[in-house]
Amino acid sequence: MAAVKHSQAMHFHARAGEKVRNAALQRTLQKAKPLFVAKRAKGLASLAEDGLDFELLRSTGKNIRNRTLADLDVWLELFEERATASGAEVLWARDGEEVSKLVVDIARRHGVTKVAKSKSMLSEEARLNEALSAAGIQPVETDLGEYIVQLAGEPPSHIIAPAVHKTIGEVEALFAKEHGRPLETRTSADIPEMAKEARAVLRQHFLSAEMGISGANFLIAETGSAALVTNEGNGRMVTTLPKVHVVITGIEKIVPTLEDFATLMRLLPRSATGQSISNYVSLLTGTKQPGDHDGPEKTIFILVDNGRANLLGSDYQDMLRCIRCGACMNHCPVYFSLGGHAYGWVYPGPMGSVLTPLYTGIENALDLPHASTGCNQCGSVCPVDIPLPTLMHRLREEQNERGLRPWSERLSLNVWAWIAGRPALYRWFARRAARYLNWLADGSGRIRIFGLVPEWTAGRDLPVASGKTFHELYAARKRD
Amino acid sequence: MRLALYVTCLVDLMRPSVGFAALRLLEGLGGEVIVPEGQTCCGQPAWSAGNRALASDLARKAIAELEGYDAVVIPSGSCTDQIRNVYPQLFADDSHWGPRARALAARTYELTSFLADVAKQDLASAMFDGSVTYHDSCKGLRGLSIKRQPRELLMQVRGLSLKEMPDCEECCGFGGAFAVKFGEVSTQIVDRKCDSILAAGADAVVGGDLGCLLNIEGRLRRRGDETTRVLHIAEVLAGGCD
């Protein structure tokens, strides 16, 4: 798999440590988390006000996604037929490299020197900006968060809030340098002004870019349209101003009808930002027709597999229901202890812990399925009911089945289970262990450093009892 | 009614008083309470590690030991979740063990849900002098829908006042092996839980799972908090924590 050479997911453990010790990052994350959670809660409350039941809506959404995935080929072919009939071109890409190659070819064919991009996680999978730059074509990210991380030379750390890990001071430093002005002291009150500044810069890019690239939140089979859900308006600029518009998205993003799209739209913005509807919802169909005021002269869809088709019919098919709202990471205790970069590849949080091993190879992301407390806060907020902890658990099983767990872990589990299968022996060991723990605690009721579980005692004491097990005390009580 | 008490391996080793408190509560209901002798571990650590074979071995052992009772009661949401929700999955396609796993699952209860929903007896004698805040453990809350039961029971305890903490449903960061595999991350998560607990300003934090409680107590003490008590709900309800 081509993606693997750029994945840092194998270094999760080490990177997690760095992120935990980064005080500025921690402050930023702790400020952001309650906002995300409160916004979604408000979004759900607004459903209730409209007389809609979240659980009912989510099972409807789940059924739509399942029904689509069951006949994915049929809906994709219908989409291709309808999109082509409306004047667009539909191309297919097997992996990220093919995406980059297709986009560079299209750009060259149309004499493009600058590309304006609205948010696309798939272009991150394809490392498209790198490929464009290497071909002498300037990619400009126009989503504000994406613009910030592009200036910083970093990947996004969140699928809907790419720069959530950045402090306002860091953004100010990037803007001052890029926009050629002196550094100023900024507070959150200055955010609108800073956004205005970026807007002025981006406006010039919109006007001068010969090509626009966007993702798609959904593809609608019956109309051959791409649906774009945005808040900043940059999506509209990217998809209407340049003469060429390229839509890059995964093959699983398709839904059969506009009606299905409307149902999923009740779930997506509420789960993501708590909005009952995003500031902009665009349905993009075909090309500019005579009499139209704007629109691209050429619209090209690139529909990408990059590992998705492998999940069809597998134990992981549920993951393809994902509508990329970010609610799982917004409610994840692990994500909000680290931020997204620790996860090492394009997708962070619980959905990333499932997708990264599946798209880049299970053997290349061994930590990620274990980077979960199993709390299921993610699964319980997922708008299409993806059982994320179950999928992570299945990946853990597959690591075992393929002999990918460390021998020390396998040995200790086997020894422990062998003993636990023999009650008399188990009691004997438990009694010895209780004595030993008590001896280590030395009458204080707690152990401060314990070589057997160093990761525990690095940050916590280990409280222990009086040196006797329940079963030995109970046996003594019965004898009395 | 013949009740079996499954104390859990963590209680056996780390805090036997929780087992005795659960025993007193169940004996107080008037029926026969048995602590099945061969009980060891429900196999959850093997399951969580992704080792289905070892998890199934230990599950078969536990099923054979626990299936002869009218109800099995466990002072842990996590171990109860393993028996109620995982055992039937482990043997979904097994014509011998499948029905036995499902039958046991249907008769297995987490302690507070057994007391509040099945036994439904007043805890007239329980006393606690002070305020408590309740931490909802993840497996109990999201796996078994235990939320109302511990609070109902705590409200019956004379002298006890309940002060809810902010984000009581947030994970404490324990996660079994997670806490020893990713210690720094786990510590970061439990730190936030400690902040929530302190924000409640209660004399004690109470929960239904010893794993979470060891994690919380360990972090509180490491932070220098020697006063906030950390108690299993069985200890509070049985009145044996003074």
Average pLDDT over residues A426-440: 96
pLDDT at B240 over 70: no
Which chain B positions have a beta carbon within 8 Å of A333's beta carbon?
Answer: 170-171, 173, 189, 192
Residues near A149 by beta carbon (within 8 Å), at least 6 away in sequence: A141, A155, A156, A157, A162, A163, A166
pLDDT score for A86: 96
Nearest Cβ partner of A396 from B37, B49, B218? B49
CATH number for the domain that contains residue B197: 3.40.50.11810
The confidence score (pLDDT) of residue A6 equals 80
Based on the domain organization, do B233 and B142 belong to the same domain? yes
Are B230 and B153 found together in one domain? Answer: yes
Residue A47: partners with Cβ closer than 8 Å, 6 or more residues away: A53, A54, A57, A266, A270, A276
Query: pLDDT digit string (tens) for A245-299?
Result: 999 999 999 999 999 999 999 999 999 999 999 999 999 999 999 998 889 999 9
Alpha-helical (H) ranges within chain B are 9-14, 16-27, 44-48, 52-66, 77-81, 87-90, 97-106, 111-113, 138, 144, 148-155, 178-181, 183-200, 210-222, 233-237
- pLDDT > 90? residue B167: yes
**Would you say residue A1 has pLDDT above 50?**
no
Mean pLDDT of chain A: 96
Instruction: Say yes or no: B133 and B233 in one domain.
Output: yes
Confidence of residue A385 (pLDDT cuts 50, 70, 90): very high
CB of B20 closer than 8 Å to CB of B240: yes
pLDDT of residue A294: 87
pTM equals: 0.96
Q: Inter-chain contact A337–B50, Cβ cutoff 8 Å?
A: no
User: Does position B241 have pLDDT exceeding 90, yes or no?
Assistant: no
Find which of A341, A470, A478 to mutate to test the B interface (most B CBs within 10 Å of its CB): A470
A contact test, residue of B8, B11, B12, B47 with most A CBs within 10 A = B12
Q: Which of B87, B117, B147 is the last residue of a domain?
A: B117
> Two tokens at B228?
């906030």
Q: B231 has which bridge partners?
A: B206
Question: Over 70: is that where the pLDDT of B242 sits?
Answer: no
Do the strands B2-5 and A462-463 form a parallel or antiparallel pair, or are they unpaired?
unpaired
Sole residue written with tokens 């097997």: A94
Q: How large a percentage of chain B has pLDDT more than 70?
A: 99
A58 CA to centre of own chain? 19
Which residues 375-434 on chain A approach chain B with CB closer than 8 angstroms? 375-377, 379-380, 393, 395-400, 405, 409-410, 413-414, 416-417, 420-421, 423, 426, 430, 433-434
Say how many domains are in chain B. Answer: 2
As a whole number, mean pLDDT of residues A150-159 equals: 98
What's residue A465's pLDDT? 84
Nearest to A423 among B15, B37, B230 (CB): B37
Q: In what order do the strands lie in the sheet with A218-220?
A: A254-255, A218-220, A225-230, A280-284
Last residue of a domain, one of B50, B84, B117: B117
Q: Say what the pLDDT of residue B66 is.
A: 97
Window B:136-165, CB contacts with A under 8 Å: 138-139, 142-143
The verdict on B8 and B107 lying in the same domain is yes
pLDDT at A466: 82
Looking at CA atoms only, how far is residue B41 from chain A in angstroms? 6
Q: Which of residues 324-343 of A touch B (CB under 8 A)?
A: 333-334, 337-338
Based on the fold, state whether residues B226 and B147 are members of the same structural domain.
yes
Same domain for B75 and B44? Answer: yes
Same domain (yes/no): B105, B131: no
Say if residue A323's pLDDT is above 80: yes
Whether residues B14 and B61 fall in one domain: yes
Q: Determine contact, residues A392/A343, Cβ cutoff 8 Å.
A: no
Q: For position A344, what pLDDT does the model report? A: 96
B98/B182 same-domain check: no
pLDDT tens-digit readout, B136-165? 999 999 999 999 999 999 999 999 999 999
- CB pair distance less than 8 Å for B214 and A20: no
Residues B49 and B100 in one domain: yes
CB contact under 8 A, B138 and A426: no
pLDDT of A5 reads 65
Contact status of B38 with chain A (Cβ, < 8 Å): yes
| pLDDT of amino acid B123 | 81
Same domain, B41 and B140: no
Partner residue facing A338 (CB), from B57, B177, B185:
B185
- Please list every residue in chain A whose beta carbon sits closer than 8 Å to the beta carbon of residue B46: 413, 417
Whether the complex's predicted ipTM is more than 0.90 is answered with yes
Each residue's pLDDT tens digit, B95-140: 999 999 999 999 999 999 999 999 998 887 889 999 999 999 999 9
pLDDT band (50, 70, 90) for residue A404: very high
Structure confidence at residue A202 as a pLDDT band (50, 70, 90): very high
Domain containing residue B110? 2-117
Do B193 and B209 share a domain, yes or no?
yes
- Summarize pLDDT for B26-85 with one digit per residue, the tens: 999 998 999 999 999 999 999 999 999 999 999 999 999 999 999 999 999 999 999 999
Q: Could you say which of A446, A455, A464 has the minimum Cβ distance to residue B180?
A: A455
Instruction: Mark which of B117, B134, B156 sits at the end of a domain.
Output: B117
Q: Does B50 touch chain A (CB under 8 A)?
A: yes
